[in-house]
Structure 1
């Protein structure tokens, strides 16, 4: 297994690269510098979850543009490669290997937790640093990798907020917990179920469904038979939107709630307008952050609404660039050390990474969908 120096693209075994870097000899071995530093973003650029890929594309592209306009990183311009993993772990592994072959030194990706977990194994082995803008499964940062980070929170953190909200506002509700069997969906559902049970909430139904299907009437029927008041779903907007349409047709009046998998403007359309009142957890809206104001204006000038994970993708590139400057190198291990050693100003606010590569304060809140958009649930209740 080899790693290529970002300055020379000369292949070095990773162990040798560490030795040379420790001895201060890597620069001498690297040869003349190139005129660019290759980085990448990876996510679902096509397929049913392509909306998240578009958020990544817009966020990373503007971040690179802004950084290059200020002189780049260590005096060199960034070049951005965009890769499509279709939110499929096998495709993500193929993408990771392609990026290694291209000499990329940093990846702002991936989106779906299953893809990020699979790709991270390649990146760790080959010595490539990743910062996920959106993958929330705890397992991503639990294996001790020193090259894996994320700028979003974790499922156990958003599950705590969801469970607290459910128990506080609907303490007598009969709750169903569903998931789509994915690393993200199952993980979020499991954490939410556990936290609800600890609060004494009644879990009347626990069910899995298959992502990508078009008919969820059997699941809806079980929800009706169990007299469910609230349905918590670990999954993505495409299936949840269809489930909502079929639930309304069947006369099910239960409230639906999910995590950040609903953070797509396509959700309302998929639901056929039946998402009124649907709840979701996500961080406090970064678009309203003072630190993001100028960047949001540049997005809007480009005709882009920086919703969902757009600003998270921007922040992933932003903090990597700052860490590289602090490290005085784009060597992935040097940048990883800098990421853990410093605080970073970003469009999301101050970012501090812990030993695992997680951010210290994700700040999840509850939103409610209404009339095609979403707002803070507490604000709508006031």
Structure 2
């Protein structure tokens, strides 16, 4: 009889624990926590962890605490779908992710089907929102057509008498960005001397660099990630080339300079306005730095994605999918990225777009 009674007590206790756990709001971040783009996954993880810690310390959300799950998609589309399905099984109601557009786009189909809200801090391919599978899909970063417009017009104006090559890594992000940049550059009256694609993940781009040299390329625009761009910058200098490397927001990591060393000096890239310079975000920036974390790149964008979701849940009064989507559609949000942020009918953010940055002495800052 004692055993039965104890089992019953244990069962009741277990149910109580389960109910308490269920009362928590389970959210997630997902990105390349491993692999060659892991620097960006670590940015997202750092931003998400700090946001959850700060929100919970301030009392949580509608009386409930946030619980964070972290998913590793390695920027692989199939792995991203697997991660999305794992989140479904864990009761996740919101995902701040993914990083690569090639991961965010297929994962978004799972989230839309399962009623999970997704706000990506980093996926810039226009298709992510142009072809979104449901209303709960948003982003707090810009789009590649915006980024490409800034880059393309700049290249056509600044280097109108120079030989420009445009290359891409064949990914959704890299090719999409390169195509948009080429389109706007040509609309501004400048045709590229050379257009090529390359394979991501290789260690030796000597053949490509030799071809650039043969074509007297003065400016190389790279639609791709920092790992390959860094190697190209270094290998161009090894061949005695002074070619300027220009790229997009996938160079916003100190790891780029770790690859290039002094060969990265003068590299130009487009990225949204630096949230570290937002005065309202200064206390959070200081908190990161106190922990030895530099909130570069997409750290603050991930933080902002979670801030935005939390404010929408508070406005909705619950985590009900439809109610939170409506709050996101109708609301304006003050985040570490700026004040009065809102979303348009596609789920794209209304914050300012892209500006140029320059790498100098191991750091990037606004181009002078």
Normalised to the residue count of structure 1, the TM-score between the two structures is 0.89
CA RMSD of aligned residues (A): 1.3
Matching of residue 280 in structure 1 with residue 269 in structure 2 = yes
Deviation, 1:301, is: 1.7
Question: Number of residues paired by the alignment?
Answer: 348
1:87 is aligned to 75
Offset from partner CA, 1:64-116 (integer Å, 9 cap, x none): 11111111111100000111111111110000000011110000000011010
Offset from partner CA, 1:219-253 (integer Å, 9 cap, x none): 11121121111111100000111111111111222
SS at match of 2:66: strand
Matching of residue 253 in structure 1 with residue 242 in structure 2 = yes
2:353 is aligned to 363
Runs (5+) with no aligned partner, structure 1: 1-30
2:41 is aligned to 53
Equivalent residue for 2:109, pick from 121, 134, 141: 121
Distance verdict in 2 for CA 1:232–1:132, change over 3 Å: same
Offset from partner CA, 1:140-191 (integer Å, 9 cap, x none): 0011421110000000111111122222322212111000000000000000
Deviation, 1:32, is: 8.8
Equivalent residue for 2:54, pick from 66, 78, 81: 66
SS at match of 2:124: coil
Runs (5+) with no aligned partner, structure 2: 1-18
Instruction: Check whether the contact 2:261–2:362 (CA below 8 A) recurs between aligned residues.
Output: no
SS at match of 1:273: helix
Instruction: Check whether the contact 2:76–2:102 (CA below 8 A) recurs between aligned residues.
Output: yes
2:131 and 2:116 map into 1 onto residues whose CA distance is 16
Equivalent residue for 1:106, pick from 85, 94, 97: 94
Instruction: Check whether the contact 1:177–1:205 (CA below 8 A) recurs between aligned residues.
Output: yes
2:4 is aligned to none
1:372 is aligned to 362
SS at match of 1:271: helix
1:142 is aligned to 130
Equivalent residue for 2:207, pick from 218, 223, 228: 218
Q: Where in structure 2 are the equivalents of 1:1-382 lying within 5 Å?
A: 34-144=22-132, 145-350=134-339, 351-377=341-367, 379=368
Normalised to the residue count of structure 2, the TM-score between the two structures is 0.92
SS at match of 1:202: coil
Instruction: Check whether the contact 1:152–1:362 (CA below 8 A) recurs between aligned residues.
Output: no
